[in-house]
Structure 1
Amino acid sequence: MRTKAFQRIYTKLTKITKATCDVVAQGVRYGELGWVNGQPAQVISVVDEVVTLQVFSGTEGLSSESEVVFSRTPPTLKVGDLLAGRFLNAYGDPIDGGPALVGEERLINGDTVNPVKRAKPSTLLATGIAGIDLNNTLVTGQKIPFFADSDQPYNQVLAEVAMRAEADKIILGGMGLSNDDYLFFKNTFARAGVLDKIVSFINTAENPPLERLLIPDMACTAAEYFAHDQQQNVLVLLTDMTLYADALAIVANKMDQIPSKDAMPGSLYSDLASIYEKSVQFGHGGSITIIAVTTLNEGDITHAIPDNTGYITEGQLFLKHDTDIGKVIIDPFRSLSRLKQNVIGKKTREDHPQVMNALIRLYADAMGAKTKRENGFDLNEYDEKCLAFAKEYAMRLLAIDINIPIDEMLDTGWYLFAKYFQKYEIGVKEQLIEKYWKVQETESELAPQL
C-alpha cells in the first residue's frame, strides 16, 4: 500500500475470482465504491481488514499487483427537479448527451420507510389499460410484478403504462435491455411528449451485468426524492427483475457461496424485498408504486425468482397470448391485485365490483364451454353465447392495447351483458341492472368496432 495525493492506493490483491477480488485495507465500509485498475467496483464484504469488491466489468486482466483505490463513499445520485426527462446509466451519469446532473447528492440503497410514517394505500392509480384497471385495479403505494414469458411484449406494456398512468413522475429502471428496447423506450416517450415526467436509469446488454445491481437503488432514490420531498405520486417501472437476480447469482457463485433453489443466492428473498418494500404511501402526501417485470422460464412460476417475488408483493399481473383473438391479454384468472378492494366501488363507480365479477364469471363459463367443444361434447345455447361473449370481451377489455377510462370500461361491460345475455343470467344486483342496463341498450356508440 502507498499514499499518493492524500489518497491510499493498495497494490496487493490477496484473492481474485471471476467477479470479485480481495484486498487488505483499513477504514473501508460496506457498500463503498472503488476502482480496481481503473474499473468501477463496490465493496460487498468487510471481514476484519479483508475487503471483498465486486468488479462490475469482471476481473479478467487483473493481477495480484493491480491498484485498488476507494472513494470513501457509497454510490450516490444527484437529485433535483432537473432529473426529469433524463436518461442515466447505473452510476447516475447522463447517457442522453445532456449536461451533467446538478443537485443534492444522496446515498442510494437507503432504508425502507418506517411503518409509523406509512398511510394505508387507498388512492386509485389508473393505468388506462382495461385488463388492469377493471379487473386488477392498482392503488398508489402498491408493489406488484408482471409475470411474462420472455417472448411477450412486456416492455411495450410498461411503455403504455408510463404514458397513460395517472402519476406525477415515472421512474424507469431498465436492466439488461437490448439496444432496440432502450431506443424503443426513448423514442416512444419522446413521441408521446411525456419526457418531462420520466426519469430513466438504463443498463443495456452491452454493459457489465453486475451494473444491473445498482439500477433499482438508483430508481428508488429518485422516486424517494419526488415522493417524499415533493409530495408527488411516483410510479417506478423495473424491467427485468430476472436479469437482476441473475446478476446476484453471478456474484454469489463467484464468491463460492452455496447456492439455494435454482442456483439463486440464499439472500434472494431479502435482496428482492429491499427493493419492493420501497413502495409506500406517505402519511404527509406522496407515494411510490412499483410495477416490475419478472420474466419466466417457459412459464415456470415455481422458479425461485417468481416464487420469492410472490411472497413479497401484493398480487401479480400475468400476460397471456389469446389464440382466439390473436392478441396478448391480461390473464383474468391468474392476475390479482390484493389491494383493489380499497378502491373499487369506493373511488370508482358503484357498479365496478359487480360488473368485474360478472364478466370474469361469464368468461370462466366460456372457457368451460371451450373445453367441452374440444372434447367433442355438444354445446347448448348458453355455451354458444358465452363463447361469443368471451371473444368480444377479450378483444374489448382484456387486450393490452385497449386504453380507455374506467367508466368506459364499465359501460362496455354493460353493453356486452345486454348484447349476449338475459338479465337473470349475469348475476348482478337488481338495482344496478335497473340503473345501467336500459342505458346501455340505447348507446349505439358502444357498438364494437372489430
Structure 2
Amino acid sequence: MPCLNEAETLAVCIRKARGFLERAGVEGEIVVADNGSSDGSQEIALANGARLVRVETKGYGAALAGGIAAAQGRFVIMGDADDSYDFENLGPFLAKLREGNKLVMGNRFKGGIKDGAMPPLHRYLGNPVLSFVGRLFFGSHIGDFHCGLRGFDRQAILDLNLRTTGMEFASEMVVKATQAKLPIAEVPTTLSPDGRSRRPHLRSFRDGWRHLRFLLLFSPRWLFLYPGLALLLVGIVLGGVLLGGPVHITRTIEIDIHTFLMAAMFIIVGLQAISFALIGRRFASRYGFIPKSNFDGVLEALTLERILLAAVLLIGLGVGTLIWGVSVWASRDFGPLDANSSMRYMILAMTALVSGLQLGMSGFMSSMINIPLYERRVTELPPPDDPMSRRRDLPKKKP
C-alpha cells in the first residue's frame, strides 16, 4: 500500500487485507510503503502489524517501486490505502496469478463504481479515453488501464525495469508488460468512495496529462511516425499535382501557388517528424525504455553514410533546380519573370534544400546514439583494518 498521510483509512485497509490472508489461508505480509507521512500514518502501520518501508523519493510511482522492491512474497497485490478498493475480496486476483498470469488488472467498470467513488470527468472521459489510447498504441486488451488494484508476479515486474515516479507508473506497468508479452488477465473489482476527509492526491488535468504524455512518448510511431508519413504523403501528392500549374477543382475553385507552398511545408514537417520517430525509437530501444523488435534491424541498416547519401541527393536536387531557374532567368536577359511559374520552382528548390539539410543533421543526431559508452568499474576494496586487505605488492610507507 503506497501511503502519504493516510491516517484516517490506513488501519481499516490493513485489517481488511489481513482478514483476506487469514480466510484464504495465504502466507503473506502487508507492506506499507510510506512516502513521508506527517500525520502519524507510520505509527498506525506499525501498530497494526504491517511492515513499514520508508521511501524517500517522492511520488506515487516511487512509493510503489520501493514497496515492490522490499516485498518478500512471490506475488504482490497493490492497492491504495484510502479504503476505496476491496481488500477483502482478492481471491480472483490470486486465482489468476496461480494460473500463470504475470499481471492481473482490476476492472472497475465491470465490477462496479459506487456513487461518488469516481468523478464524472474521470469516469466518462479521462479513464475511457486514456485506456482507449493505451489499447490503440500498444495493442493491449486491458479495459481499465488505471485501476490501482492489481496483482502481479514480483520478479516479472522487477524485470520490466519500471522508471517513472509519478502517477504514470500505473500506465508504464501495463505498457511494458504488454510489450514484454507477459500473460495478463483482468478481473472485475469494485470501487467505493474513499474514507478520507481531505482531498485526494490525484489532480485531474495534471495527472491525466502525465499519463497521456507517457503514452505518447513511449510510442514514437503514433507521436511522430504516422503523422509524419501522412503529412509527407499528402505533401508529395499535392505538390506533384500542382507542379505543372494551377488545378481547377470546380468552376469557381482553383488551387495554385499558395496550396503548392502548403504542400512544401507538409513535406518538410513530415520528413522531420519521421526523423524524430526513428531517432526516438533507436534511443528508447538502445537504452532499455522499450523492448527491441524486428524494426530495430531496419534502423541499424540506416547508417549515417546512407542517410547522408540521401541528404546529398536532396541538396543536389535543390541546387540543380536553383541553377536551372537562374539559367531560365538568364535566357530572358535577366528581365521580368512570371512570378507564378518562377516561384513554383523556387519553392521546389527550397523544399529539397531544407529537407536535405534536416535529413543530414538528423543522421548525425541518430548516429550519436550508437557511440559506445565506456563504463568505468571500480572494485570496492576491503576496509583498511581487514587483514585480508594487506597486500605484499603494495609499497611500504616511508618512516
Q: Quick check: TM above 0.5?
A: no
Superposition TM-score, scaled by structure 2 size = 0.30
* Structure having the larger proportion of residues in strand: 1
Higher RCO structure (Cα 8 Å, ≥6 apart): 1
Superposition TM-score, scaled by structure 1 size = 0.27
* Structure having the larger proportion of residues in helix: 2
